[in-house]
Amino acid sequence: MTHEPSTSRTSRRSVLGLLSSVPVAAGLLAAGRPAQAEASTFRSIPADLRPGGKFDRFVADQAAKDLFSGVVLLAYQGRPVLRRACGMANKAASLPNRLDTRFDLASVTKAFTAVAVAQLAQQRKIAFHEKIGTYLQGFPAEIGQTVTVHQLLTHTSGIGRPAVGTEPPTRPEWDTVQKLWDGTAKAIRALPPQFTPGTQYRYSNDGFFLLGEIVATVSGRSYYDYVREHIFAPAGMTHSDFFTKPQVTADPTIARPYATQRSGPRVDFTTSDFFPFVGGPHRGAYCSATDVLGFVRALRNGTLLSPAYAELFTTAKMIMPPSEQQGLTREHLFYGYGFIDAIVNGRHVVGHSGGSAGAANNLDTFPGQNWVAMIFGNYDTPIAPIVEMARQIIT
């Protein structure tokens, strides 16, 4: 069951947040906090992370070289300390990216799907050990009675196309939400397993699409409505939604995706037949950086999940091969349930990356240091150098 995504109302409301192992209330900037306390907090921020500092200048340089277009947001103890918008949201209309511009988050969307599953698991409506045939129909026994919810969450199910990162197919004739949803579900069910479930890690967008199907089946709501009502709304994410292709092309507050990994001019990917009509559980939520900061806050202050379930879903479950995050320094790299869990310079980093044609994103939270770093872009030029610099300075 699905419903047509609706356009979110535009809001200037600022939502602050952080992902921290300490109680969130202790780290957030409370309303009416004395200016003296704010000044003290700012003094504790490394000069390299302040406006005009080393990191800020590097982002500006990348943008000047046309290697980055998007928004960067750094927050410390719940307070944004650096916010920069670079490049153009719509080149044809000469519209620049703004701090409230909404970006295609690509695979960062998986974090929302994982939280939806976690909420239903917390209510004991979904069990991690259960086979997907318990919730979904149409699979052969070798998949439906073998693959578990845990394996879908950890990319160890064997379901999906062989190429890492390949998305479920999309076709021009899938020009409604229902057609795309039904067509994708049918295509996934026609695939043979890549390997015996539980024996390998292989990133699978298709597996996360099935998790969205499970959310819809168990909750009795469409996946889109469930996320709107149980994640976006309680987290105060008033700028966020799953927008259709017509909405993306008509809304000036949404950044157009520009395919840059090819020769020639930047190409607006919305003009391609391969641009999907709407995103889904595996990718394609559109959010502002401030909204994602609100999501991080709601994840850790008990609004979305109990602390035990938030900890369960965001921490390591399955080791990831080094090839998964090329260009980034890390000592250990694991996948949790819809979250990547890494050790960088002896520090814990939790979040998710996301990339597709015209999108390059990264969400990093530093639980032991009260930092959040977000880089959301509407180029698919790799942002690893920006992510790496933020990580090295923060850790």
> Domain with 44 in it: what CATH number?
3.40.710.10
Does 295 reside within a domain?
yes
Does 4 reside within a domain?
no
CA angle 335, 286, 252 (to 5 degrees): 155
Does 232 reside within a domain?
no
70: left (phi over 0), alpha (psi -120 to 50) or beta: left
Nearest of 285, 361, 272, 350 to residue 317 by alpha carbon = 350
The pLDDT > 90 percentage for the chain reads: 78
pLDDT band at 326, cuts 50/70/90? confident
For 47, the domain range is 24-108+241-280+290-394
Surface-to-core class of residue 1, CB atoms within 10 Å of its CB (0-12 exposed, 13-18 middle, 19+ buried): middle
Q: How many residues does the chain have?
A: 395
Does 6 reside within a domain?
no
Mean local confidence (pLDDT), 7-32: 33
Query: How does pLDDT run across 185-227, given as a tens digit for each residue?
Result: 999 999 999 999 999 999 999 999 999 999 999 999 999 999 9
Domain check: are 100 and 192 in the same one?
Answer: no
Query: How does pLDDT run across 64-92, given as a tens digit for each residue?
Result: 999 999 999 999 988 899 999 999 999 99
Domain check: are 81 and 213 in the same one?
Answer: no
pLDDT score at 261: 77
* CA separation for the pair 334, 165 (Å, rounded): 17
Residue 167 has pLDDT above 70, yes or no: no
- The DSSP annotation for 144-196 comes to HTT-BHHHHHTT-S--S-SSTTPPPP--TT--SHHHHHHHHHHHHHTPPPSS-
122: left (phi over 0), alpha (psi -120 to 50) or beta: alpha
Contact, 284 vs 278, CB < 8 A? yes
* CA separation for the pair 268, 91 (Å, rounded): 9
pLDDT: is 84 or 172 the higher one? 84
3 state DSSP class of 108: helix
* CA separation for the pair 216, 130 (Å, rounded): 16
Does 341 reside within a domain?
yes
* CA separation for the pair 223, 217 (Å, rounded): 9
Domain check: are 246 and 390 in the same one?
Answer: yes
pLDDT band at 162, cuts 50/70/90? low
Q: What is the mean pLDDT of the chain?
A: 88
Domain check: are 159 and 248 in the same one?
Answer: no
pLDDT: is 141 or 13 the higher one? 141
Does 230 reside within a domain?
no
Domain check: are 372 and 245 in the same one?
Answer: yes
Domain check: are 45 and 193 in the same one?
Answer: no
Cα torsion for 312, 317, 323, 329, to the nearest 10°?
50
Domain check: are 141 and 265 in the same one?
Answer: no
Structure token pair of residue 113: 């799907």
Residue 24 has pLDDT above 70, yes or no: no
The pLDDT > 70 percentage for the chain reads: 86
Residue 37 has pLDDT above 60, yes or no: no
Residue 163 has pLDDT above 90, yes or no: no
- The DSSP annotation for 228-270 comes to IIIIITTTT-TT-B---HHHHHH-TTBPPPEE-SSSSS-EEGG
Domain check: are 245 and 368 in the same one?
Answer: yes
3 state DSSP class of 227: helix
Does 11 reside within a domain?
no
284: left (phi over 0), alpha (psi -120 to 50) or beta: left
C-alpha separations of 330 from 213, 258, 325 in Å: 33, 29, 9
* CA separation for the pair 42, 110 (Å, rounded): 33
Nearest of 275, 184, 281, 185 to residue 224 by alpha carbon = 281
pLDDT score at 169: 65
Query: How does pLDDT run across 253-284, given as a tens digit for each residue?
Result: 999 999 997 656 788 999 988 899 999 999 99
pLDDT score at 168: 52
Which of 14-28, 137-151, 163-177 has maximum average pLDDT? 137-151
Give the chain's domain count: 2
3 state DSSP class of 350: strand
Domain check: are 248 and 390 in the same one?
Answer: yes
Domain check: are 354 and 369 in the same one?
Answer: yes
Does 233 reside within a domain?
no
Domain check: are 218 and 256 in the same one?
Answer: no
Residue found by looking up tokens 């409301």 in the block: 13
pLDDT band at 25, cuts 50/70/90? very low
Domain check: are 175 and 263 in the same one?
Answer: no
